[in-house]
Amino acid sequence: MAEHSLGPNGGLVYCMDYLERNIDWLESKLKPLLKDHYLLFDFPGQVELFFLHESAKRVIMKLIKKLNLRLTAVHLVDAHLCSDPGKYVSALLLSLSTMLHLELPHVNVLSKIDLIENYGKLAFNLDFYTDVQDLSYLQHHLDQDPRSARYRKLTKELCEVIEDYGLVNFTTLDIQDKESVGNLVKLIDKSNGYIFAGMDASAIEFSKIAVGPVDWDYYRVAAVQEKYMKDDEDIDEDKSDHK
């Protein structure tokens, strides 16, 4: 930033451009980890990188293609935005734009859910905000705010765009709650296919996990995988004895 007289956003955009031009360096650092590591890429929070700028997307796509990674985008949104209808609609629009731009399996998360009550009582039950239900109910509350009332028509049309796509919903995260963290990890693992790796099961069994709730037991899944591997080894031994 100092060398090129850039602000924070400009510095981040420059860094992403630079990283894209030097992607071989990043690949060389990641290749030794591929066999037995679960990779997390913690990106900066500047939203411009993920729904306007192309370099971050190209970096991700090159890593997927060259290293055969299965990635999921996890988009964190502060839960307190639910207490302000205008900000909540903005968060929905940002989530949708990011999903369309990145073109990855995508999990939207209302983070800091344990603090949501600190910002005032919600106008609706939490399910309304996580399931992104009929957004027309927000219109009355938006009209109560003089700042939002003047953009009523624009807000209504933006809500219609969000609902027409029907892509956005949220899961919740309380970082202090082990079960909450575990459920999020399971949802991510299902979306990128990690939970299916090494499983030898019927299409019906895969479908049950894919459309079902995130209530499986990792140890049970691991035991099933181990059983199939053992069966394969027994088959190979039988073939060897036969020869």
pLDDT tens digits, 147-182: 766 777 888 889 999 999 999 999 999 999 999 999
Q: What is the pLDDT of residues 122-143, one digit of tens each?
A: 889 999 999 998 888 887 777 7
What pLDDT score does 136 carry?
85
- Per DSSP, the residues of 163-225 read HHH-----EE--TT-HHHHHHHHHHHHHHTTGGGTT----HHHHHHHHHS-S---HHHHHHHH
Rounded (5°) CA angle 232-215-116: 145
Mean pLDDT of 65-75: 94
Q: What is the dihedral of CA 119, 125, 129, 135, to 10 degrees?
A: -110
What pLDDT score does 52 carry?
82
Between residues 234 and 200, which one has the greater pLDDT? 200
Mean pLDDT of the chain: 84
Q: Which of 88, 220, 241 is nearest to 159 (CA)?
A: 88
- Residue 165, Cβ neighbours under 10 Å: how many? 11
Higher pLDDT, 78 or 218: 78
The pLDDT of 71-99, averaged and rounded, is 93
**What's the alpha-carbon Rg for the chain, to the nearest Å?**
22
What's the pLDDT tens digit per position in 36-58?
A: 898 999 998 888 888 888 999 99
Residues 139 and 210: their CA atoms lie apart, in Å, by 35
Per-residue confidence (pLDDT) for residue 224, from 0 to 100: 47
Cα dihedral: 66, 67, 71, 76 (round 10): -90
Percent residues over pLDDT 70 in the chain: 80
- Residue of higher predicted confidence among 10 and 205: 10
With contact defined as beta carbons under 8 Å apart, do 164 and 96 qualify?
no
